[in-house]
């Protein structure tokens, strides 16, 4: 007697739901990128007008560069700190357990709450750094301030990943190295780092995709300003569509965002062996 298996109907509600509210919009956004639409009337096909305009749009190009800069900067700041704090917090001492539960606190705040908090903190006249640099008002440093706020929000999460992974490193490796007279730095470089390589990949993927799609932090903190100093791609799309009422053109920008996101995912999968990692994880 062959065992009775669930029919395809069990999957239909989830598939239909996803198809309607996630997959169909993906197709629609491509269609809309070939239309002129102000958000109220009916979208009218206008050929490749949005696309030829996009090719000449230096502001869109600049926002792509800002987005890439934000991704690289966020990765460079967050990865070493999260790695070091995570490995440190993996120790068994009680003080470390207490401190790591404090390190975790920013994860409880919504992005909106964090952006508002930092905006008040960095406010030039009444904030905590009166007389200091114009963190959000100086076009030369505003984007770095955004990186700072993103790091405050997300390093705690990545610290958790590294803390969990560092705890899973077999203690016997360290014991053997100690017998061989390895220094603390040597043990970190030759045991901890190699053992954490898959976690570094996972964390980096989440970080890069996260900063590619950063939106509410920047909208609230600077609204893309001063000038256009922090106008990254998702924000450029939002402002074009919902403040400038050029939904068709904004859709073309959205397609660029999808292409970037997909290219990023594919690149990371290929280059990091993410697939082989997931098969190693099975049963762990």
Partner 1 sequence: MKSRPNWPAGLFALAWLAFILGPLIYLVTVSLRTRSEYLGKSAWAVPDALTLDNYVTVLTGGFGQYLLNNVIVTVATVGIVVLIAVPAAYAVVRNTGPFVQRGFTLILMGLAIPAQATIIPVYLMITRMQLYDTLTAIILPTAAFALPVAMLVLTNSLRDVPRELYEAQSIDGAGPLRVLVSLVLPLARPAIMTVVVYTSLNAWNGFLFPLVLTQSESSRVLTLGLWDFQGQFGTNVPALLAAVTLSVLPIFAVYLIGRRFLLSGLTAGFGK
Considering the complex, what minimum distance in angstroms separates the CB of residue 284 from partner 1? 7
Q: Cβ closer to partner 1: 8 or 56?
A: 8
Considering the complex, what minimum distance in angstroms separates the CB of residue 8 from partner 1? 5
Considering the complex, what minimum distance in angstroms separates the CB of residue 138 from partner 1? 20
Q: Cβ closer to partner 1: 94 or 105?
A: 105
Considering the complex, what minimum distance in angstroms separates the CB of residue 76 from partner 1? 17
Considering the complex, what minimum distance in angstroms separates the CB of residue 142 from partner 1? 18
Q: Cβ closer to partner 1: 73 or 87?
A: 87
Considering the complex, what minimum distance in angstroms separates the CB of residue 29 from partner 1? 5
The Cα 16–Cα 33 span in angstroms is: 24
Q: Cβ closer to partner 1: 52 or 278?
A: 278
Q: Cβ closer to partner 1: 56 or 282?
A: 282
Q: Cβ closer to partner 1: 126 or 271?
A: 126
């Amino acid at each position: 007697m062959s065992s009775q298996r669930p029919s395809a109907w069990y999957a239909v509600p989830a598939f239909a739901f996803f198809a309607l509210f996630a997959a169909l919009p993906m197709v629609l956004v491509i269609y809309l990128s070939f239309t002129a639409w102000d958000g109220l009337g009916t979208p009218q096909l206008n050929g490749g007008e949005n696309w030829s305009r996009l090719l000449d749009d230096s502001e869109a190009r600049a926002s792509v560069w800002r987005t890439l800069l934000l991704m690289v900067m966020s990765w460079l700041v967050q990865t070493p700190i999260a790695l070091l704090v995570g490995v440190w917090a993996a120790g068994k001492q009680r003080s470390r357990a207490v401190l790591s539960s404090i390190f975790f606190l920013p994860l409880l705040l919504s992005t909106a709450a964090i952006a508002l908090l930092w905006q008040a903190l960095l406010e030039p006249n009444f904030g905590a750094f009166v007389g200091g640099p114009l963190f959000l008002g100086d076009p030369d440093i505003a984007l770095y301030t955004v990186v700072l706020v993103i790091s405050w929000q997300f390093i705690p999460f990545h610290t958790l990943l590294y803390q969990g992974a560092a705890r899973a490193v077999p203690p016997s490796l360290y014991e053997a190295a100690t017998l061989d007279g390895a220094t603390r730095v040597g043990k970190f470089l030759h045991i901890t780092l190699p053992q954490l390589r898959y976690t570094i990949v996972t964390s980096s993927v989440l970080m890069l995709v996260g900063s590619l799609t950063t939106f509410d932090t920047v909208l609230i903190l600077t609204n893309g300003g001063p000038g256009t100093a922090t106008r990254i791609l998702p924000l450029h799309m939002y402002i074009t569509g919902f403040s400038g009422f050029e939904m068709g053109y904004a859709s073309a920008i959205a397609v660029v965002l999808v292409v970037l996101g997909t290219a990023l995912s594919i690149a990371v999968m290929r280059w990091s062996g993410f697939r082989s990692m997931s098969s190693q994880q099975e049963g762990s």
